[in-house]
Amino acid sequence: MKQVYMETFGCQMNVADTDRMEQLLFQSGYLRTSAKENADLVLVNTCSIRDKAEHKIYSLLGTIRPLKKANPDMTLALAGCLAQQEGETLIKKFPYLDMVLGPDAVERVVEAVDYVKTQKKSLVWTEFDQEKKYSIPISDEPAAKTSGPSAYVNIIKGCDKFCSFCIVPFTRGREKSREPYEIYEEVRQLVDRGAKEIILLGQNVNSYGKRDMQPPTPFHELLYGVAEISGVERIRFTTSHPKDFTKEAARAFKDLDILVNQLHLPVQSGNNKVLERMRRGYTVNEYKALIDLLRSEAPDIAFSTDIIVGFPGETDQEFEDTLELMEWVGFDSSYMFSYSPRPGTPATEMEDSVPLEVKKERLQRTIDLQKSLSDRNAKKYIGQVVEVLVEGETVHKDYDFKGRSPHYWMVNFSGGQKTLKSGGLAKIYIESASGHALRGTYRSPN
Ligand code: 5AD
Ligand code: SF4
């Protein structure tokens, strides 16, 4: 078999796209390798959400260049959002690149490799597909790898929200949902291959089924449908948009035991004026009302979020409002970023007025606050028994296994060696916490 080396930057959508390309390449005779020196094909799946992500990719390309020199038969491919954003210019900048594939070209990766090999020419495929439907055909052929206990399933791609800071609507195009039957079929296949937890994936899952679907299937109906599939033991979904989150979807947390009580709900800022400039489509009070609604349906629900600091024009007071909101919600965890101007997005028209030093200082303050919120939340679990989906052995020297709690905390624990294996559910008594991980002892199987 030929060998493919793959590296992924960015979000879960990209990880899922890399997995899909691995599967398609596997079916055409490529096996994934961890050594890029010997690879026939090197494929980098890129991200362009922030400036930093872009720079990392450019420096990786620099390290690949000598490999390509030593082995001119190696095919070098760039896929993903940076590929979509830069297109042809990438080939001009890096003439040793063989192909540039946008996110909509994932399904055609094998065709692209064949083209480069037979035509001995580079290619740039960054057209958005014109199909109204979004389909990832299910194949009965063997999988490239066995599925772990958690499996991601794409349900919607693209984004129509056009938040003023965000490049995603330009790199991933308009929203398109997969038909429910195709999603259910994939879930059944994943369960047959060992998956216990299904994580429904999309840039904005709450917008699922709104367009071009006959009959329309709102997101919550999909949740109820997946929950009926036998063998599914846990369901999560990401990413949610507060504006599109319906009360029916909130209700699902109450109705469905296997929909875990944890939600990633990006807020970005805790100030109405900043939210307006960001074009997020909700106010702080609306966000808080949604949190209250979710808590009334699922009292122990845990939240995580995304925060941007230093958005154009953000004043000290506006920033303080973000800290206040973080405190009010008491997030379990946050992904915190400094605003980074992205080419072609409306926010680049606004003056990037917050000095770098101030951005850094604000970022540090959000990180410090989040750390104390996480520590506070972790303490709630000490002395409790939580259900853990076992992922496998832990590298932690004092413990045997690791897995995730329903609230998405990593749990390292000792005991259970005779009975437990990856994919099992186990009751763990929590004794201590460190960072974003809990530690405990095995009590019993589920
Ligand atoms: N600058 C900083 N952070 C950004 N994000 C998206 N675009 C930018 C940007 N231009 C963050 C948002 C989003 C997460 C995936 O990345 O918080 O929710
Ligand atoms: Fe970007 Fe906003 Fe769409 Fe999220 S909802 S992908 S932040 S445009």
Q: What is the pLDDT of residues 26-40, one digit of tens each?
A: 999 999 999 999 899
Instruction: Work out which ligand 2 atom sits closest to the CA atom of 160.
Output: 3
pLDDT per residue over 208-249, tens digit each? 998 888 888 999 999 999 999 999 999 999 999 999 999 999
Of the listed ligands, the closest to the CA of 162 is 2
DSSP character for 268? B
- Confidence (pLDDT) at 436: 82
The dihedral through the CA atoms of 270, 276, 279, 281 has a sign that is positive
CA 357 – CA 370 distance, rounded (Å): 20
Rounded to the nearest angstrom, the distance between the alpha carbon of 34 and the centre of ligand 2 is 32
Residue 269 CB less than 6 A away from ligand 2? no
Rounded to the nearest angstrom, the distance between the alpha carbon of 49 and the centre of ligand 1 is 6
- Confidence (pLDDT) at 133: 83
Residue 50 CB less than 6 A away from ligand 1? yes
Residue 156 CB less than 6 A away from ligand 2? no
CATH of domain 385-442: 2.40.50
- Confidence (pLDDT) at 396: 87
Q: What class, spelled out in words, does domain 273-278+287-379 have in CATH?
A: alpha beta
- Confidence (pLDDT) at 416: 85
Is residue 366 reached through a cis peptide bond, with omega within 30 degrees of 0 on the bond before it?
A: no
* Minimum CA distance residue for ligand 1 atom 17: 306
Q: What class, spelled out in words, does domain 130-260 have in CATH?
A: alpha beta
Rounded to the nearest angstrom, the distance between the alpha carbon of 432 and the centre of ligand 1 is 33
Could you tell me the CATH superfamily of domain 2-125? Methylthiotransferase, N-terminal domain (3.40.50.12160)
Domain with CATH 3.40.50.12160 in the chain: 2-125
- Confidence (pLDDT) at 417: 82
Rounded to the nearest angstrom, the distance between the alpha carbon of 164 and the centre of ligand 2 is 9
Residue 165 CB less than 6 A away from ligand 1? yes
Residue 241 CB less than 6 A away from ligand 2? yes
Residue 147 CB less than 6 A away from ligand 1? no
Please enumerate in sequence order all residues whose Cβ is within 8 A of that of 407, keeping only pairs 6 or more positions apart, or say none: 260, 261, 262, 300, 302, 332, 381, 386
Rounded to the nearest angstrom, the distance between the alpha carbon of 337 and the centre of ligand 1 is 7
Residue 426 CB less than 6 A away from ligand 1? no
- CB–CB of 334/326 below 8 Å? yes
Domain with CATH 3.30.750.210 in the chain: 130-260
Rounded to the nearest angstrom, the distance between the alpha carbon of 322 and the centre of ligand 1 is 15
Is residue 215 reached through a cis peptide bond, with omega within 30 degrees of 0 on the bond before it?
A: yes
Domain with CATH 3.30.750.200 in the chain: 273-278+287-379
Best substitution site from 13, 84, 159 to test ligand 2's pocket, by max atoms within 8 Å of Cβ? 159
Of the listed ligands, the closest to the CA of 243 is 2
How much is the pTM? 0.95
Rounded to the nearest angstrom, the distance between the alpha carbon of 385 and the centre of ligand 1 is 36
- Confidence (pLDDT) at 395: 87
- Confidence (pLDDT) at 130: 82
Best substitution site from 166, 208, 342 to test ligand 2's pocket, by max atoms within 8 Å of Cβ? 166
Reading the block at residue 221, the tokens are 């109906």
Which CB contacts under 8 angstroms, 24+ apart, belong to 235-238? 235/197, 235/198, 235/199, 235/200, 235/259, 235/260, 236/197, 236/198, 236/199, 236/200, 236/260, 236/262, 236/408, 237/155, 237/199, 237/200, 237/201, 237/205, 238/12, 238/199, 238/200, 238/201, 238/205, 238/264
* Residue stretches of the chain with pLDDT short of 50: none
Rounded to the nearest angstrom, the distance between the alpha carbon of 92 and the centre of ligand 2 is 29
Burial class (CB in 10 A: 0-12, 13-18, 19+), 390: buried
List the beta strands (DSSP E) in 92-219: 99-101, 123-125, 150-154, 156-157, 176-177, 197-201
DSSP character for 331? -
Domain with CATH 2.40.50 in the chain: 385-442
- Confidence (pLDDT) at 389: 97
Determine the 3-state secondary structure of 121 from DSSP.
Answer: coil
Reading the block at residue 403, the tokens are 């897995």
